[in-house]
Amino acid sequence: MIGDIIETKQCQLKDPMDLFHSGQVVKICAPMVRYSKLAFRTLVRKYSCDLCYTPMIVAADFVRSAKARDSEFTTNKGDHPLIVQFAAKEAQVLCDAARIVCPFADGIDLNCGCPQRWAMSEGYGACLINKPELVQDMVRHVRNQIDNPRFSVSIKIRIHEDLKRTVDLCQKAEATGVSWITVHGRSVEERHQPVHYDAIKIIKQSMSIPIVANGDIKTLKDAENVHQLTGADGIMVARGLLANPAMFAGYEETPLQCIQDWVDIALEHGTPFTCFHHHLMYMMERITSKQEKKVFNVLSSTSAVLDYLNDHYGV
């Protein structure tokens, strides 16, 4: 019954733009390589996450290879609203990828923020913030070729040292019909430096489309503070959700029920052991001692993990 209620609620707000116009701050699970897959998205949706992204998928591989499509993109009826994030550098390739996922997702996102060397050397990710015309071209092509007007096209960016360039990029993207923009408040070179929330605020004030803030948000309190600081319409979280998938529901640390839910969902989805185990390591980071970690982190089979959870936590 609860499942029915949840599913109905999700169906009513399937269109992501409805979420941004709901008057509430939209709570978003970030695209995370290896981690923001269907099983984990299913878990965070149980704990007040409004919108989920797939991990970043290289559009050219996705279009070219059925094998890539099968391994990279899995979804189901309850997995909405869903944004598929692509790495792309050619408008038609992005369009072809968008067309493939259009029947199964609610929108696509163009990654313009990944700072990893491999991505930037291929012309993907954060190097696109220096190519506003190319970003415009890609957004325009998808807008023109996807018939569904409710299908969203968004971008996720990092900021420039010179913020005027970032505002210019965002305004150009807005003019081309981008649905919203997620801003990770660091430059390409910055990794663990403090996030520039003041920059996100300036971008928000310069735009009329929704802006999502991203970077170093670990708790619901952090999310509320960042919303107050920036005026952002949505808050996107990566590592904070890995450490505590129930974060958006207001839990300070991962509740045992959430660990139980992860075990149930992961087993049901046939999640590979390494992924299943890694998620548990992240979730239990704050609630286990150094000694417990030494034992738990080297377990090497699902049955060993299940026995450990049962013996120590009654899960």
Per-residue pLDDT of the chain (315 residues; tens, 9 = 90+): 223 323 333 333 468 999 999 999 999 999 999 999 999 999 999 999 999 999 999 999 999 999 999 999 999 999 999 999 999 999 999 999 999 999 999 999 999 999 999 999 999 999 999 999 999 999 999 999 999 999 999 999 999 999 999 999 999 999 999 999 999 999 999 989 999 999 999 999 999 999 999 999 999 999 999 999 999 999 999 999 999 999 999 999 999 999 999 999 999 999 999 999 999 999 999 999 999 999 999 999 999 999 999 999 998
**What angle separates helix 256-269 from helix 302-313, to the nearest 10 degrees?**
160
Q: State pTM to two decimals.
A: 0.94
211 in a domain, yes or no?
Answer: yes
Is 170 annotated in the active site?
no
Query: Which residues, 6 or more positions from 311, have their beta carbon under 8 angstroms from its beta carbon?
Result: none
- Nearest-angstrom CA–CA distance, 241 and 235: 12
11 in a domain, yes or no?
Answer: no
- Residue at a domain's end among 201, 226, 249: 249
167 in a domain, yes or no?
Answer: yes
Residue 28 · residue 211 · CB < 8 Å: no
Tokens of residue 308, six digits: 């450990």
Same domain for 302 and 184: no
234 in a domain, yes or no?
Answer: yes
Same domain for 117 and 83: yes
Same domain for 222 and 178: yes
The total of structural domains in the chain comes to: 2
- Of 227, 277, 254, the C-alpha closest to 35 is 277
Q: Is 126 exposed, middle or buried (0-12, 13-18, 19+ CB in 10 A)?
A: buried
End-to-end Cα, the chain, rounded Å? 23
User: Which amino acids are annotated as binding site for FMN, given as ranges?
Assistant: 31-33, 85, 184, 238-239
Strand, helix or coil for residue 47: coil
Same domain for 127 and 112: yes
Virtual torsion, Cα 49, 51, 56, 59, nearest 10 deg: 160
- Domain housing 212: 16-249
Q: How far is CA 197 from CA 67, 109, 201, in A?
A: 40, 22, 6
Which residue is catalytic, options 114, 127, 170, 258? 114
User: Which amino acids are annotated as binding site, given as ranges?
Assistant: 31-33, 85, 184, 238-239
Same domain for 223 and 307: no
In total, the chain counts a number of residues equal to 315
- Nearest-angstrom CA–CA distance, 309 and 214: 33
